[in-house]
Amino acid sequence: MSTTIEKLPTGIPGFDEISRGGMPEGRTTLVAGSAGSGKTLFAAQFLAHAVRVDREPAIFVTFEERPSELRRNFMTLGWDVASWEEDGLWHFLDVSPSLSTETVIVGDWDFTGLIARVETMVQRTGARRVALDSLGAVFSEFPDPAKVRGEMRRLAHAMLELGVTAVVTAEREEEYGAIARHGVEEFVADDVVVLRHVLHEEQVRRTVQILKYRGTDHRQGEFPLTIIDELGVVVLPLVESGHEEGSTDLRVSSGNAELDAMCGGGFMRDSVTLVSGATGTGKTLTCAHFLHGGASNGERVLLFAYEESRAQLFRNARGWGFDFEALERAGNLRVVTAHPEVANLEDHLVRMRREIDAYEPDRVAIDSLSALEHIATLRGFRQFIMGITGLMKRRQITGLFTSTTPNLLGGDSITISHISTLTDAIILLRYVEVLGQIRRGVAVLKVRGSRHDHDIREVEIDGNGMGIGAAFRDVDGILGGSPARLRPITASRLEGLFEDPPAGGI
């Protein structure tokens, strides 16, 4: 559908992408959400964008919180609302309840007082954006909801007459129930945005959904949303439209010549590889090879480490023969370490984006996804992987993620079973028990668009990093987690199982 209705940019990262341009101009959009879903901030950010970017005045009508409280809250985002007010750019219109003064209703009333105030302020300031937050507070002041709804309809009509673009917030009782409490959607029926704030399996997950955008295009479904200091509300569109992901046949080295050979000549440049294995099988070492291989070749490489401290990482790298300090000093390596639990997954994704935007790396490694998996729902985790892989492919960044299997001797991790289709290549690292000894093995499970080695090869780890040797020829069941030694006669029969019959038939 072609878009004929003009839209105003919101300044909410990601929202203009899912709304295909922002808020419909000259209309009132209802933003409905449960307590704590970010409604007030959403509305304020829409105004702040006009003030900050275009030095255009805006009006915030507050039905609930006092301007002093709002001013203080907005300051935490780095918005100097007080100075905007001094400059005549930001205007609070305070209709919050007067708690210190008794109020008695004795007869018929209407909202013409409020409408007159809004009209006068719009005319006086020239504001084109208005936020009204939040309507639920008004309903609690008056005993007759039907009457309030009627007056709200009158207010909405007045906003339309004024030609302003407005955001009205309202409460919801249930995340997947009625659009808003008190049926307020009746009078702003054209455009409805729903913010959700769901607690599932002890994880908070925020989403945004454009429920209705009458006569204009938008993306369907729920999208993750987060609230971050300095940025405010951030929507994560996961896959951005209009940015066709490029594809290339160019190969880059994994940093390990033997692994390159197993993968058919290295990794595709815009590919994402998943390295899965139990603890101690060499996942972080594979990362180190990958990073060192790029950085020592003059590329910029970025590591997000969620399991080890920076000091541990650098020490381990030294033990494998990699001088990460020197690569960092040369500006070819950047290491970002964080505890997964300090933020939700959407926050981590936003921070990753900011790091990638700032550093512009050629390679990115995440060690490990399993650490992040624990702080999200399965759906949220999958969307996170979609978001980060999409970003990396658009920028033609080579990616490598690690994932820890729960069992020492193999088996699938939840991570690998849910994101394997989102990655281009999968490398398995496994412990192998042979003749009473624990050895390590590596297998390339898939490389999209390329031939690859089908052997499970032995891995040795020493002061020179990872060495990949010969294939295990006499062990079966490695990937299933129950390796068993085959008798030589069986192994030789298996090897000949798929050979062509000799000429002349059997």
Partner 1 sequence: MTRARYLLFVTSRGRTRQFVEDCLRAYAEDLHGPDHEVVVVRVEDHPELADEHRVLSTPLILRELPLPQVRIVGVPDGPDVLARVLDPVLDPVRPSTRPPHHHPHAPGPSQAGEDA
Which of 111, 290, 304, 401 is in the footprint of partner 1 by CB under 8 A? 111
Give the nearer residue to partner 1 in terms of CB position, either 91 or 395: 91
| CA atoms of 293 and 273, how far apart (whole Å) | 15
Active-site entry in 171, 307, 346, 373: 307
Tell the smallest beta-carbon distance from residue 61 to partner 1 (Å): 10
348 secondary structure, DSSP code: H
In the block, tokens 């109020």 appear at: 103
Q: Is the peptide bond before 403 cis (omega within 30 degrees of 0)?
A: no
Site string for partner 1, 134-173 (x = CB under 8 A): ----x--xx--------x--x-------------------
Tell me if 421 contacts partner 1 by CB under 8 A: no
Give the nearer residue to partner 1 in terms of CB position, either 74 or 111: 111
Residue 403: enclosing H or E segment and its boundaries?
strand 398-404
| CA atoms of 349 and 206, how far apart (whole Å) | 14
Only one of the segments 98-106, 188-196, 397-405, 476-484 lies at the binding site for partner 1 (rule: CB under 8 A); that segment is 98-106
Tell the smallest beta-carbon distance from residue 106 to partner 1 (Å): 5
Give the nearer residue to partner 1 in terms of CB position, either 68 or 482: 68
Give the nearer residue to partner 1 in terms of CB position, either 65 or 258: 65
CA distances from 496 to 429, 452, 483, 488 (A): 27, 20, 21, 13
Tell me if 125 contacts partner 1 by CB under 8 A: no
Which of 31, 41, 114, 275 is in the footprint of partner 1 by CB under 8 A? 114
Only one of the segments 106-114, 316-324, 386-394, 449-457 lies at the binding site for partner 1 (rule: CB under 8 A); that segment is 106-114
| CA atoms of 274 and 379, how far apart (whole Å) | 19
| CA atoms of 162 and 168, how far apart (whole Å) | 15
Give the nearer residue to partner 1 in terms of CB position, either 1 or 104: 104
471 secondary structure, DSSP code: E
Tell the smallest beta-carbon distance from residue 41 to partner 1 (Å): 22
Nearest CA-CA partner of 115 in 89, 149, 153, 141: 153
Which of 3, 9, 52, 121 is in the footprint of partner 1 by CB under 8 A? 121
Only one of the segments 108-116, 264-272, 283-291, 396-404 lies at the binding site for partner 1 (rule: CB under 8 A); that segment is 108-116
Output the six-digit token pair for 7.
Answer: 């839209």
Tell the smallest beta-carbon distance from residue 115 to partner 1 (Å): 8
Which of 107, 126, 463, 501 is in the footprint of partner 1 by CB under 8 A? 107
Tell the smallest beta-carbon distance from residue 98 to partner 1 (Å): 6
Tell the smallest beta-carbon distance from residue 57 to partner 1 (Å): 15
> What is the CA angle 121-126-132, rounded to 5?
50
Backbone angles phi, psi at 73, to 5 degrees: -65, -40
CA 278 to mean position of chain CA atoms: 26
Task: Give the total of residues touching partner 1 (CB under 8 A).
Answer: 33
Tell the smallest beta-carbon distance from residue 5 to partner 1 (Å): 27
Tell me if 126 contacts partner 1 by CB under 8 A: no
CA distances from 155 to 57, 63, 111, 149, 445 (A): 20, 13, 7, 10, 62
The string of DSSP codes covering 179-239 is: SSGGGGGGTS-SEEEEEEEEEETTEEEEEEEEEEETTS----SEEEEEEETTTEEEE--SS
Positions 58 through 97 that interact with partner 1 (CB under 8 A)? 63, 93-96
CA distances from 150 to 153, 171, 180, 226, 372 (A): 5, 18, 16, 34, 49
Q: For residue 460, which amino acid is it?
A: E
Q: How many CB atoms lie within 10 A of CB 253?
A: 19
Give the nearer residue to partner 1 in terms of CB position, either 91 or 218: 91
| CA atoms of 238 and 236, how far apart (whole Å) | 5
The string of DSSP codes covering 277-305 is: E-TTSSHHHHHHHHHHHHHTTT--EEEEE
Active-site entry in 64, 151, 346, 458: 64
Only one of the segments 114-122, 194-202, 330-338, 430-438 lies at the binding site for partner 1 (rule: CB under 8 A); that segment is 114-122
Backbone angles phi, psi at 431, to 5 degrees: -80, 140
Tell the smallest beta-carbon distance from residue 180 to partner 1 (Å): 20
Tell me if 417 contacts partner 1 by CB under 8 A: no
CA distances from 362 to 9, 248, 356, 359 (A): 31, 14, 10, 9
Give the nearer residue to partner 1 in terms of CB position, either 89 or 118: 118
Only one of the segments 14-22, 120-128, 411-419, 477-485 lies at the binding site for partner 1 (rule: CB under 8 A); that segment is 120-128
Give the nearer residue to partner 1 in terms of CB position, either 36 or 109: 109
Tell me if 406 contacts partner 1 by CB under 8 A: no
307 assigned to active site: yes
Which of 4, 98, 220, 417 is in the footprint of partner 1 by CB under 8 A? 98
Q: Footprint of partner 1 on this chain (CB under 8 A)? A: 63, 93-96, 98, 100-117, 119-121, 124, 138, 141-142, 151, 154
Catalytic residues: 64, 307
